[in-house]
A and B are shown apart, each in its own frame.
Chain A
Amino acid sequence: MERLEEITHALEGGDLPLEKSIELYTEGLDISKFCDDKLGEAETRVKVITEKQGKLVEEDFEDEEQ
């Protein structure tokens, strides 16, 4: 997101040579695609800490809603 912000700021500045602008724009598109892919995954994972034989371990949490 930081990089995307940097790119937007640079392109808005308006005084980059055309080649550089195209380069940055392409990079922006790549980042956007990467984000879309990453965000598409997943299901909420909830873990709970339990004590097993004196040590604290992580286990899956079962709540009624699941």
Chain B
Amino acid sequence: MIVRPKHQRLVLVSLALLAVGGAVMLAMWGLSDRAAYFVTPTDIAAGKAAGGQAIRLGGMVEKGSLRREADGVTIHFTVSDLTAKTPVRYRGITPDLFQEGSGVVAEGRMEGRLFVADTILAKHDERYMPPQMAGAVTKPAR
């Protein structure tokens, strides 16, 4: 059956609205539990990060905290925002300019009191510091 033109426009407009609505619904559903919140050690100390949820932890790698496990590829270090500290474990090759005393953003989740990182982002140099990290390091307490 060929749809009459008047009806056809109506059908197409409804389909378009349905698509927009569908996209919004789907996005809201996806965002409800898949957005990774950016937290600082202070937030974690205040109990803001639930265990198991994907989060981004930002701060400075504390001087003298970096140590390597016997396997050579798992590292432990402490992220500090000058008011609180969070211990971090990461397995992998650390990125360019990841070092003690530098800024870092780690993606991962809390396992008990330990932050287990899947990905580590370090700043490339002082001019390319991500805005989120700049905020975390210069304004430690919120």
A and B: interacting chains:
no
Residues of B at under 8 Å CB distance from A?
A: none
Residues of A at under 8 Å CB distance from B?
A: none
